[in-house]
């Protein structure tokens, strides 16, 4: 695996990318993240996971900036909310109404700034969803119950294959929402228009003085595609979705082989070698002619 010039910033997805398939962070990857930060390479975690998962992420992975909910929220290393892009209530209600009309049988869930609600027929899987509340119709979840900003809407279909469900949901939403998916389930995710991992990452990194060509990004699923195609160095994990493998300019070993760590170790080694060469003592003058 060739080692490229080190970037100024690392942006990495979590599930299927930085984390192993069992959801854990390996000791090797933890050490590689720390070494990169110590070497002056910033690290930001960019995930589709909801805001309510951020405290657990920071406790388990370490104090990094987190871009959550596919770009809808940014959190500082201490867990402080730094930015939020919500779906406007009327737009959210219209979106759910259109998708339900075109795709009967779909069940909906709503991610708030710090909570989660779902319809009774929506299945729950992880990230505390089994304890989520409130439960109600999508209309109640979007308007009457919590009164909190909506960051992401999820739609699940019990019978349609994922590809069919996604394509039809994408056409139905049009430019009224960003539509993507990040699992193999028939689960589609909607964010506010023009809110993606890429738009938020580039806005955030730009404020740090880091250009897109100075970023290396890692991902494995279609919700990573905007980010991977917007940066200077894109890495698809060996276990990535075929569309991601085609789009990325580089390939990293699989997540269960600590692929992100392997690339980061190469970056840090390159920086260390460069620094050693810079500070190497000058050769002593030849005294043999005295």
Q: Over the stretch 16-44, which tens digit does the pLDDT of each residue have?
A: 999 999 999 999 999 999 999 999 999 99
Residues 94 and 185 in one domain: yes
Q: Which residues contact 259 (CB under 8 A, 6 or more apart)?
A: 17, 218, 235, 237, 238, 252, 253
Using CA of residue 64, residue 70, residue 74, residue 79, what is the dihedral sign? negative
Q: Is residue 289 part of a domain?
A: no
Last residue of a domain, one of 157, 191, 225: 191
∠ Cα 67 38 261 (to 5°): 65
Q: Is residue 108 part of a domain?
A: yes
**Mean pLDDT within 198-219:** 97
Strands (DSSP E) along the chain, which ranges?
Answer: 9-12, 42-46, 65-68, 73-75, 81-84, 107-112, 116-118, 150-156, 178-180, 187-191, 215-219, 233-237, 250-252
Residues 219 and 77 in one domain: yes
Residues 165 and 183 in one domain: yes
The encoded tokens of residue 172 equal 């139905």
Q: Picking from 150-154, 195-199, 259-263, 271-275, which range would have the lowest pLDDT averaged per residue?
A: 271-275
Task: In whole angstroms, give the CA distance from residue 18 to residue 33.
Answer: 10
pLDDT, residue 60, reads 93
CATH code of the domain in which 246 resides? 3.40.50.1000
Last residue of a domain, one of 160, 191, 222: 191
Measured CA to CA in angstroms, residue 101 lies from 64, 94, 143, 158, 169 at distances of 41, 11, 19, 16, 11
Q: Is the peptide bond before 134 cis (omega within 30 degrees of 0)?
A: yes
Q: Is residue 159 part of a domain?
A: yes
Residue among 195, 182, 186, 165 nearest 223 (CA): 182
Q: Which residue would you say has higher pLDDT here, 6 or 249? A: 249
Q: Is residue 122 part of a domain?
A: yes
Interval 74-95: pLDDT, tens:
999 999 999 999 999 889 999 9
Last residue of a domain, one of 191, 215, 241: 191
Residues 202 and 79 in one domain: yes
Residues 208 and 73 in one domain: yes
Q: Is residue 236 part of a domain?
A: yes
Tokens 């939403």 correspond to 173
Q: Is residue 3 part of a domain?
A: no
Give the confidence band of 265 by pLDDT, cuts at 50, 70, 90.
very high
Task: In whole angstroms, give the CA distance from residue 256 to residue 25.
Answer: 10
Give the confidence band of 107 by pLDDT, cuts at 50, 70, 90.
very high
Q: Is residue 259 part of a domain?
A: yes
Residues 170 and 243 in one domain: no
Q: Is residue 44 part of a domain?
A: yes
pLDDT, residue 271, reads 86
Residues 53 and 119 in one domain: no
Residue 201 domain boundaries? 9-84+196-279
Residues 63 and 202 in one domain: yes
The encoded tokens of residue 158 equal 């019990």
pTM of structure: 0.89
CATH code of the domain in which 96 resides? 3.30.1240.10
Residues 144 and 273 in one domain: no
Residues 134 and 187 in one domain: yes
Residues 186 and 213 in one domain: no
Interval 48-71: pLDDT, tens:
999 989 999 999 999 999 999 999
Task: In whole angstroms, give the CA distance from residue 208 to residue 202.
Answer: 10
Residues 146 and 272 in one domain: no
Query: How many domains in the chain?
Result: 2
- 215 close to 250: Cβ distance less than 8 angstroms: no
Q: Which residues contact 73 (CB under 8 A, 6 or more apart)?
A: 51, 67, 81, 83, 84, 85, 113, 151
């Amino acid at each position: 695996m060739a080692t490229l010039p080190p970037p100024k910033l690392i942006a990495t997805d979590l599930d299927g990318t930085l984390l192993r398939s069992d959801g854990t962070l390996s000791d090797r990857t933890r050490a590689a993240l720390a070494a990169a930060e110590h070497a002056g390479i910033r690290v930001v975690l960019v995930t589709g996971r909801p805001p309510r998962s951020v405290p657990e992420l920071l406790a388990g992975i370490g104090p990094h900036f987190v871009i959550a909910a596919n770009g809808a929220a940014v959190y500082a290393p201490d867990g402080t909310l730094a930015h939020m892009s919500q779906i406007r209530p009327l737009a959210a209600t219209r979106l759910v109404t259109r998708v339900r009309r075109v795709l009967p049988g779909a069940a909906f869930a709503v991610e708030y700034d710090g909570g989660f609600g779902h319809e009774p027929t929506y299945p729950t899987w992880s990230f505390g969803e089994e304890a989520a509340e409130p439960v109600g119709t999508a209309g109640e979840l979007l308007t009457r119950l919590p009164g909190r900003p909506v960051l992401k809407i999820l739609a699940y279909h019990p019978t349609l294959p994922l590809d069919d469900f996604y394509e039809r949901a994408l056409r139905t939403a049009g430019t009224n929402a960003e539509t993507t998916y990040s699992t193999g389930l028939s689960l589609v995710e909607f964010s506010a228009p023009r809110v993606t991992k890429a738009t938020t990452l580039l806005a955030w990194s730009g404020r740090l003085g880091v250009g897109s060509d100075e970023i290396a990004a890692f991902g494995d699923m279609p919700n990573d595609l905007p980010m991977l195609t917007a940066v200077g160095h894109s890495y698809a994990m060996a276990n990535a979705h075929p569309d991601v493998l085609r789009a990325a300019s580089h390939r990293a070993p699989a997540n269960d082989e600590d692929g992100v760590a392997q690339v980061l170790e190469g970056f840090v080694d390159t920086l260390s070698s460069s620094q050693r060469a810079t500070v190497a003592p000058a050769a002593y003058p030849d005294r043999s002619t005295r």
